[in-house]
Chains A and B, each alone.
Chain A
Amino acid sequence: MFELARLKVRRFRGFVDEEEFVFDQPVVLLYGENHRGKSSTLNALEWCLFGDQCFGAKTGIRERVDWEIPNRYVPGDVTVTAEFNGPDGRYTIRRDHVAAGRRGAGTVTVVLPDETKLHGDEAQHQLYQLFRSSFQEFMTTVYQHQEAIRSILTQEPRQRNEAIDRLLGLSEYRELLGGIDKAQLEKTEKALEGKFENLRQRAEQSIRTYNNLIGEEKSKAIAAGIPEQDLNQQEALRRAKEIGDAVERLAQDLGLADFQLTIPQAYDEIAEFREWVKTEADQLWAKAPDVVKQENLAREQQDLASPKGNYESARAAVTKAQGERDELVREHGDETALITIADKQRGKTKELEQRIRQTNDRANLVGEAIQYLKTASLGGAVQRCPLCGTEVPDLLAHLESEWEERIKKEVEQLDDQRKTHKSELERVESLTKELKALETNLDATRAAADQSVQEIGAALGRDIGKEEDPGALVNARLKQIASELEAVRQAIEEKRPRIGALHDELAQLRTIDEIVRYERKRAAVERIWETTEFAELSALRDQTSELVEDVRAIRDSIAAVSREEAQERVAAAGAAVDGYFCRLANHPAIPGLLMGVTEDTRSGLNSYVFKSKDGTDPTPILSQGDLNCLALSLFLGLAEAMGETQPFAFMMLDDPTQSLGSEMKLQLVSVLEGIGDRRRLIISTADTEFKDLLMANITKSKALYNFLDWTEQGGPQITRPS
């Protein structure tokens, strides 16, 4: 067996400068507060021996998933050196890790007792040769991890089972099973099945849709008089040929000798044929002479309608304008008469204006004479007025007044006469203007009428003589067109049923074609399962099922092996575990502990069952301290079961008293006293009571390393009191 003699640690995790530990006593205590580097010291030995095996998810230790090897605060190459005293001398194992990279296996060097130095794979192989121990075995029988106890201190059965698996060294199986589960192959298989199901449902939906469409079309066909037995490809082809023949006959009858047609020979040609016939039949009809003639006559009829209407409107306008002009002349005379009247009125007006002027001149003259007489002072006595014959006191003043009155009257009479003549003159001038306007309008309507005659001539395609009646000519032509149209219409009507029948035949062919087409589509969907692609997909589905089932079998096998190993270990260590548990827990209600392994039916993983020796289930009454005792008992029991086959002559316990009461701690010290007879002990603890109990009760000689402090730049501060 190999005894640990010395351990040197540099730059490993919290360590900075090289620290050396000498294990020269049967019991070595690493004591100090948390986060001082105690666990890292034990971890350093583990890393030195097992490299990258002791970190990562495969260890089953959560804290080891993102474990960092190099010191994160003071970078530098990591070196851990362990010296062992073996059966034939000293073995030195050194593991180095260069500064680059935060994690890694490092490189190992082994120096044999004969000073032979081995490196790399050779050294690794030598390590295995020497110890024949895996990391899992080391973890379960040599190094009691504090994480293992922490994990078991849970009331959640699944986590506790996982923790016990780890204590039994079965984490790798659990990791494998977890990895398989994570692959979620069954989910993938289900997704594939889902796609299949989706395909099937879509096909089913398509078939249902086609069935509905076929049903609808068949009802239409039967309602249209097509016998149900005719709703097939052969009948479609037969009918297509009939339609083709009918079209050809029609073309001949319509006088279209150059018409050519291709009768479909295969069903797939029918759709194109249908469309072709539909278009061609319409064009054929459009090219028929009667139809062309009908169109031409209709166009001519339309072309004549407009000039005819224009002509009639123009004629009506001329008549109206003529009537209006004639009526004015009749009432007021023609232009000459109106001019004569106007001239007369104008002369009279001028004459009256002249007379008014003369009267005014005379009035002025008399007025001036009266004024003169006034200045000569001829008045004074009463005199008789020569004008009115009355006796007046002031004759001149009287004459002035009388004269003014007389002249005023005379002028007013003259002005009234002048106004009358002036008004008459204006009326005559207005009538003259009106007459001119009516004559202008008459000329315009006559010009329009001439234009419409020309239009009629153009529409009739001939010149119209002065003696001819354009309206009668148009009416005669329109009558002739109507007669010709009627004749053509009758001729067309005789042929139209044939086109109608052709269209009916085409519609029936379309219905049959639609039904056949839907049936073919439905058949294509129904044949999906017969296709190569479907077969390939099915094969793929089979292969997936086989793969999933194989993986399931592998998973079951791994779970079975894990269970068998668990059962073996529990069987081997059961008595020891029971013994340790009874001593450590010293539980008054649990006379003894029986441990069994079963399968968790849901997950297939190991499930651990504990029973008290009196047949009761102890788990509901297990305290945290009891669970800690259970974890320690499992570790110590397994270590004991390994016995002499275990290569290491020492045991490392990391923080073993996490939830233990004082009595349990004392019991643990007592147990360790016994183990100390067989193995050297390295115990890490922050528990002062436990340290004191160890120092006081362990009879073997002891060494104590005090972990006083830790700083980022200085690492742990460690002393070893002498």
Chain B
Amino acid sequence: MKVSTFQHLVRIREKFGPGLFGKIAQKLLALALCDTGFSYVVERGVQGVDVDATSSKGDKYTLEVKTTEGDSIYLSKENLDALRDRAADGYVPVIAALRLQMFEDWLFAKIPLSRVRRGSIPLARLRAYHIIKLEALVCPAFEAVVNQHFTGVLARGERYLAELLAQRRQGDT
């Protein structure tokens, strides 16, 4: 991730705090997935897995989105159960982690759920399972989305992005 993009994200986090920043990052990621060519993207703000995304080729991913400033993320039992549920529906369970530090980028990890326990997971562990192709596709799109909507997000926060996603859905239908 470019430093300028990182600095945009830092400003968003500084304005809205870590909690809301996580939700904003999730929505920005959902928009990036839309822009990357995923034909069907569902972003859940409340319960269940955070994002489902189906590519035009039929690849189905279910993403548990986590943001952190440290070197690990926390996975709850609910997070794991939700991923297992979606995996049972044919989705590839993925942990999408963004470490908000310079030179870091989204990490999409297809870690076998049997190898994950609830609790803290070092990002280094996730890196062993990262999906390089998906990252190469989504990360540049995410940067573009951040830079494109930075002003709007800074002004109106999560709501601005929720409206954008709603517009995308309407466009799809």
Contact = CB atoms under 8 A, between A and B. Distances in A.
B81 interface: no
Nearest to B117: A601
Contact of A200 (B4, B103, B124): B103
A17 interface: no
Interface in A546-596: 546, 548-550, 552-553, 556
A542 interface: yes
Given A207-B3, A542-B130, A529 B103 contact: yes
A549 B103 contact: no
Nearest to B112: A553
Given A207-B3, A553-B115, A200 B101 contact: yes
B114 to A, nearest CB: 10
B103 A528 contact: yes
Contacts of B3: 207, 526
A541 B107 CA distance: 13
B128 A549 contact: yes
B129 interface: yes
A21 to B, nearest CB: 54
A527 to B, nearest CB: 9
Contact of A545 (B4, B102, B128): B128
Given A542-B130, A549-B129, A189 B102 contact: no
Nearest to B111: A549
Contacts of B130: 542
A712 interface: no
B127 A542 contact: yes
Nearest to A542: B127
Contacts of B4: 526
A602 B148 CA distance: 47
A40 B2 CA distance: 71
Nearest to A197: B71
Nearest to B115: A553
A193 interface: yes
B6 to A, nearest CB: 9
The prevalent SS among residues of A at the interface is helix
A189 B103 contact: no
Interface string B54-68: 000000000000000
B71 A193 contact: yes
Interface string B136-158: 00000000000000000000000
A549 B102 contact: no
Interface string B1-41: 11110000000000000000000000000000000000000
A128 interface: no
A326 to B, nearest CB: 96
Interface in B104-133: 104, 115, 124-125, 127-130
A193 B3 CA distance: 20
A545 B103 contact: no
Contacts of B125: 545, 548-549, 552
A391 interface: no
Contact of B124 (A526, A528, A534, A548): A548
Given A193-B71, A526-B3, A553-B115, A546 B102 contact: no
Contact of B103 (A534, A550, A553): A534
A189 B115 contact: no
Contacts of A534: 103
A226 interface: no
A561 to B, nearest CB: 16
A385 interface: no
Interface residues of A, number: 24
The prevalent SS among residues of B at the interface is loop
A526 B2 contact: yes
A464 interface: no
A529 B125 CA distance: 21
Contacts of A363: none
A5 interface: no
A541 B103 CA distance: 14
Interface in A177-230: 189-190, 193, 197, 199-200, 203-204, 207
B103 A542 contact: no
A193 B128 contact: no
B103 A546 contact: no
A573 to B, nearest CB: 30
Given A542-B127, A545-B124, A203 B103 contact: yes
Interface in A425-469: none
Nearest to A522: B3
Interface in B82-112: 101-104
Contacts of A200: 101-104
Contact of B128 (A199, A203, A548): A548
Most buried by A among B3, B71, B104: B3
Interface in A497-537: 526, 528-529, 534
A261 to B, nearest CB: 39
Contacts of B127: 541-542, 545-546
A203 B102 contact: yes
A190 B72 CA distance: 12
Contacts of A548: 124-125, 128
B122 to A, nearest CB: 8
A702 B169 CA distance: 91
A204 B6 CA distance: 11
A172 B103 CA distance: 44
Contacts of A550: 128
A42 B11 CA distance: 75
B143 to A, nearest CB: 12
Nearest to A196: B103
A52 to B, nearest CB: 37
Given A207-B3, A526-B2, A526-B3, A542 B102 contact: no
Contacts of B124: 189-190, 193, 541, 544-545, 548
B49 to A, nearest CB: 23
A545 B126 CA distance: 8
A548 B125 CA distance: 8
A603 to B, nearest CB: 15
Contacts of B102: 200, 203-204, 207
Contacts of A553: 115
Most buried by B among A199, A548, A549: A549
Nearest to A194: B71
Nearest to B123: A193
Contacts of B71: 193, 197
Contacts of A529: 1, 103
Given A546-B128, A549-B129, 12 more contacts: A193-B124, A197-B71, A199-B103, A200-B101, A200-B103, A207-B102, A544-B124, A545-B128, A548-B125, A549-B125, A549-B128, A556-B115
Interface of A: 189-190, 193, 197, 199-200, 203-204, 207, 526, 528-529, 534, 541-542, 544-546, 548-550, 552-553, 556
20 contacts: A200-B104, A203-B102, A203-B103, A207-B3, A207-B102, A526-B4, A529-B1, A529-B103, A534-B103, A541-B124, A541-B127, A542-B128, A545-B124, A545-B125, A546-B127, A546-B128, A548-B128, A550-B128, A552-B125, A553-B115
